[in-house]
Chain A
Amino acid sequence: MSDQNPSNGVRPNVSLAWVFVGALVGWVPLIWHFEYFWQFFYFMDEWDLINKMDVLGYQNWVFGFFAENFVPVFKLIWSGLIFSGNGNYHFIMVFGFLLHSLILLLIGYLLRMWGFGLFTILFSQLVVGLNYTHIEVLTWTSQYSSLLAFLSFLLVLVPFSRAYIKQIVTPWSVCTVIVVVSALGALSFSRGVLNGVSIFGCCVVLWMLRDPKVKSVWRAAISAMIPCVGIALYIAIWSFSNSSNFSSSGSRLDAIFTHFFFRISLNPWYQQIRELQISWSQALVLLQLNVMCLVFGIRWARKANRPLLYLLVLFFLGDAFLLALGRNHLHISSISGWRYQYLILVLFAPFVGVLLEKFLGYVRQDLIRRSASFVVLLVIARWVFIPWGVHLPTWSQERGTYARQKIVDDSSVAEDYDISKFDEVSNERALELKEKYNLH
């Protein structure tokens, strides 16, 4: 049985070249729709960030709270990009695609490391890499915080995975790196605190399942968890005393439950299947589909692959819980918003990949199976990519072209908010900031 081989049942049998190729597809939306991406400009929250940076002073702004977010690392990187790019929005956007591509690379690398098949790896990379729902995350640089946090999660997963697969206790020097990277993730995005907690949770699950291999990963898991718990406590204390969303959550248990239920049900299929309506019955049908994917994904994956899948499930549930806690005041339709799809797709794509690979495995003839796999990948890649062309023209118009025109338009009223679309940054203030930071 493969689980008893010298590499503990996990032996990558996919060339790294495929993983690199899969990572490159992340650039396709930018290259394909270059003319639209180049229209985007600073929008809403980004003006707020620049304005606060200018008003509060750099240090106060970096270490201050932004709603319930305590994200100094993100702010440092984001402002660093503004300064190093001399205010050029395209520069920050290219950095976003670089992050996207790095995440794809790490997804592929980790799946390969855990011994997943080529189809599952490429499927996951293609679905995440080309997905049209990333329009919000990739064209709005204030959303890069989630990408940074997720990148740190994947980076931490590498030594964790190595420790589990090779059955070697992580050296203290590597643990120090894990602490730092985990802290960087938690300080980039409020839900980044999930990174270490979910890794530790996975160890607890493995321990409960009496997996003997778990002994070698406790140290790495605890190293990942400590900074996250510390930062989570700091954010929680601040949020419960300052943020109305959190402080009143005890009296909104029904809303929290409803949001949690809809989050774990509607995502990710609602946005991928499209043209569905949001209702309880729809959520039940989609929940059933999710359960099927998770249960059969785990069942049909090789035993050695399963710890990674447990971890992804925990992350999915944890993310849904935190969002239900912090966003239950929003309308139910916000649950399946595009900005939430990135992480969910990364978590779900391997499960669906395993299922499809299993089905394709029933085709005995090698050439036919390979051809069918290629066609499936092509069809799915096309399906998730095509809507970019539908949404980008409107988005680039509303979030770029319009603001750029208003900046050069002498007729814009100084007290209006046409440029920033943010009620604390008037046109006059926006023009000041534009001049000061050379925003272009």
Chain B
Amino acid sequence: MLVKLTSPSVVKRIPVAWIIAAPLAGFIPLWLYWDDFSKFFYQGVEWDQLNRIEADGLFIWVFSFFGENFAPVFKLFWAGLLFAGSGNYHIFVFGSFALHVVVVFLFGYLLRQWGFGGFVIVFSQMVLAVNYTHIEILAQSIQVSNFLSYGFLLALVIFFFRPWLEGGSYSTKLCVCLCVLSSLGALSFVRGVLNGIVVGVIAVALYFLGDPANRKLLRPAKYVVVPSIVVGLIVAMGIFYNQTAFRSDGAGFSRFLDHFLFQITLNPWYQQLRNLSLTGGQSLLLLELSAVVICFAVYFATDFQKNLFLLLLLFFLGNGFFTALGRSHLSLDHTVAWRYQYGCLIVFVPLVATVIERILRSVPFRFMPVTAGVLVIWWTSLWVFDHWKYHIPTWAEERGTKIRASTTASMTDLEAHTISTLEAVNDERALELIKAFNLRLAAKENDNE
């Protein structure tokens, strides 16, 4: 078998201090481009949320479906920010960045826990922290669900495998905590149901395909899988009763397949390398690149680290599958959308870093590997950060300045949908919501700055 599924007896780890600094780099885009971030305002489906909160009441809104999403945890968090910030959109921007930094920290913590070296951890954290593709999920508050879900996934993996890595046992208290983490992930984001499932599958594989001593993983595995399945069933029922996009999947199998293949082949390289074409040939080429990276990373990783790679890759495939299932009605260029890159990067960056670290270690001179490592991290961080400057001004204009301007402009046609661009929320309704949630005040404060 390619992946030897065994438990490590001793895991050598780098100091925690190493993983604290890099997550703070996640604030760099906010710090450097605050002028642009401060312009963002409620947009599109965010108006829909405000409208439903106001129309249905908070309780019903929290436990109702939103598209194919059943995400009460996310909604509670989002509404909490809305009320805590008194309608000021900036609170969402800060909230998103804070969550992003937490996720990057957890990411580093996870890699440290699994015994990866300083280079792999810092490289992975930096690439995730400053990547320009996060513009969509950092600038649109509705995408906070991604951060919540990824954060709960990382926390789940950390706490699930801690006793296994350290030779401890699984108490009932810990199992309940794992159950809560799995539930929170599944109830934050529609694809969060994957969290418990991938962890459970790896745990089962460790027992059935690996060491029989891993039997102790089966009990906590049940605790994490059950919430995912339950939430998954709720979501499935909700979808089949309410959504047409999924019910017509039988007729669109080839489109689903196209989307799935493009998802797993083009990501994450297409957006990171840039200036590539979106064709079948390109997807094959990038699949080859992914395969090379995966094979080398698995080859270079230690036995127990391979389990983490397997878990991440399983998550990647599951994510691609569900995204293709839910988004196959969109054009193929959506498969490489910026909002999907966060999860893909979490999966692939450690693989790439492992390969680079191995190459750097082959540099013969004593201080050269360290120097080269620092240069590689510096250069790669610059590469993935650079494009913020091209996109953030346009995004701030389209998704902030224009909307803010339209709220203060003299309205000639209140039946129009200039502010929200949503059918359900016309300008008259948007103005009502601005008043109800004090959104205008937040906008004016910004305008006066």
Say yes or no: A275 contacts B275, CB within 8 Å: no
Assess whether B277 is interfacial by the CB under 8 Å rule: yes
Complex: chain B residue closest to A277, CB-CB:
B277
Decide if the interface of chain A is mainly helix, strand, loop or mixed.
helix
Cα separation A371 to B269 with both chains bound (whole Å): 34
Residues of B near A280 (CB, < 8 A) are: 275
Say yes or no: A277 contacts B285, CB within 8 Å: no
Assess whether B441 is interfacial by the CB under 8 Å rule: no
Cα separation A286 to B281 with both chains bound (whole Å): 12
Assess whether B233 is interfacial by the CB under 8 Å rule: no
**Distance to closest chain A CB from B341 (angstroms):** 16
The contact of A284 among B273, B280, B282, by CB within 8 Å, is B273
Cα separation A19 to B269 with both chains bound (whole Å): 41
Cα separation A280 to B383 with both chains bound (whole Å): 14
Say yes or no: A282 contacts B289, CB within 8 Å: no
The contact of A275 among B269, B274, B280, B289, by CB within 8 Å, is B280
Say yes or no: B275 contacts A285, CB within 8 Å: no
Residues of B near A282 (CB, < 8 A) are: 273, 275-277
Size band of the B side of the interface? 10 to 19
Residues of B near A269 (CB, < 8 A) are: 285
Knowing A281-B274, A281-B275, A282-B276, the reply to whether A275 touches B282 (Cβ < 8 A) is: yes
Cα separation A277 to B279 with both chains bound (whole Å): 10
The contact of B281 among A275, A284, A288, A292, by CB within 8 Å, is A275
Complex: chain A residue closest to B275, CB-CB:
A279
Residues of B near A286 (CB, < 8 A) are: 285
Assess whether A274 is interfacial by the CB under 8 Å rule: yes
Complex: chain B residue closest to A270, CB-CB:
B281
Say yes or no: B281 contacts A274, CB within 8 Å: yes
User: B-facing mask of A276-299, CB < 8 A → 1, else 0?
Assistant: 110111101110110010000000
Cα separation A290 to B150 with both chains bound (whole Å): 36
Cα separation A281 to B266 with both chains bound (whole Å): 14
**Distance to closest chain A CB from B266 (angstroms):** 12
Cα separation A170 to B275 with both chains bound (whole Å): 52
Assess whether A55 is interfacial by the CB under 8 Å rule: no
**Distance to closest chain B CB from A419 (angstroms):** 38
CB-CB contacts below 8 Å: B275-293 with A = 275-277, 279-282, 284-286, 288-289, 292
Complex: chain B residue closest to A289, CB-CB:
B288
Say yes or no: B275 contacts A273, CB within 8 Å: no
Residues of B near A281 (CB, < 8 A) are: 273-276
Complex: chain B residue closest to A269, CB-CB:
B285
CB-CB contacts below 8 Å: B241-296 with A = 269, 273-277, 279-282, 284-286, 288-289, 292
Residues of B near A277 (CB, < 8 A) are: 275-277
Cα separation A382 to B370 with both chains bound (whole Å): 49
User: A-facing mask of B82-120, CB < 8 A → 1, else 0?
Assistant: 000000000000000000000000000000000000000
Residues of B near A285 (CB, < 8 A) are: 269, 273, 276, 285-286, 289
User: B-facing mask of A19-42, CB < 8 A → 1, else 0?
Assistant: 000000000000000000000000
Cα separation A289 to B282 with both chains bound (whole Å): 12
Decide if the interface of chain B is mainly helix, strand, loop or mixed.
helix
Cα separation A93 to B269 with both chains bound (whole Å): 45
Complex: chain B residue closest to A273, CB-CB:
B281
Say yes or no: B275 contacts A276, CB within 8 Å: no
Cα separation A75 to B281 with both chains bound (whole Å): 40
* Most-contacted residue by chain A among B273, B279, B285 (CB, 10 A): B285
Residues of A near B276 (CB, < 8 A) are: 276-277, 279, 281-282, 285
Say yes or no: B292 contacts A288, CB within 8 Å: yes
Cα separation A273 to B284 with both chains bound (whole Å): 9
Residues of A near B273 (CB, < 8 A) are: 281-282, 284-285
Residues of B near A288 (CB, < 8 A) are: 289, 292
Complex: chain A residue closest to B272, CB-CB:
A281
Cα separation A269 to B277 with both chains bound (whole Å): 14
Cα separation A284 to B274 with both chains bound (whole Å): 11
Cα separation A276 to B282 with both chains bound (whole Å): 6
Residues of B near A274 (CB, < 8 A) are: 281
**Distance to closest chain A CB from B292 (angstroms):** 6
Say yes or no: A289 contacts B275, CB within 8 Å: no
**Distance to closest chain B CB from A393 (angstroms):** 23
User: A-facing mask of B194-234, CB < 8 A → 1, else 0?
Assistant: 00000000000000000000000000000000000000000
Complex: chain A residue closest to B269, CB-CB:
A285
Cα separation A269 to B289 with both chains bound (whole Å): 14
Residues of A near B284 (CB, < 8 A) are: 273
**Distance to closest chain B CB from A281 (angstroms):** 4
Knowing A269-B285, A285-B286, the reply to whether A292 touches B277 (Cβ < 8 A) is: no
User: B-facing mask of A235-278, CB < 8 A → 1, else 0?
Assistant: 00000000000000000000000000000000001000111110
**Distance to closest chain B CB from A356 (angstroms):** 13
Cα separation A284 to B286 with both chains bound (whole Å): 11
Residues of A near B292 (CB, < 8 A) are: 288, 292
Cα separation A280 to B279 with both chains bound (whole Å): 17
CB-CB contacts below 8 Å: A278-323 with B = 279-282, 284-286, 288-289, 292
Residue pairs across A and B with Cβ atoms less than 8 A apart, 26 shown, are A273-B282, A273-B284, A273-B285, A275-B279, A275-B280, A275-B281, A275-B282, A276-B276, A276-B279, A276-B285, A277-B276, A279-B275, A279-B276, A281-B273, A281-B276, A282-B273, A282-B276, A284-B273, A285-B269, A285-B273, A285-B276, A285-B285, A286-B285, A288-B289, A288-B292, A292-B288
Residues of A bordering B, CB below 8 Å: 269, 273-277, 279-282, 284-286, 288-289, 292
Which 3 residue pairs of A and B lie closest in terms of their CB atoms, listed nearest first? A279-B275, A281-B273, A273-B281
Known: A288-B292, A292-B288, A292-B292; 4 extra A-B contacts, CB below 8 A, are A275-B281, A276-B279, A276-B282, A279-B276
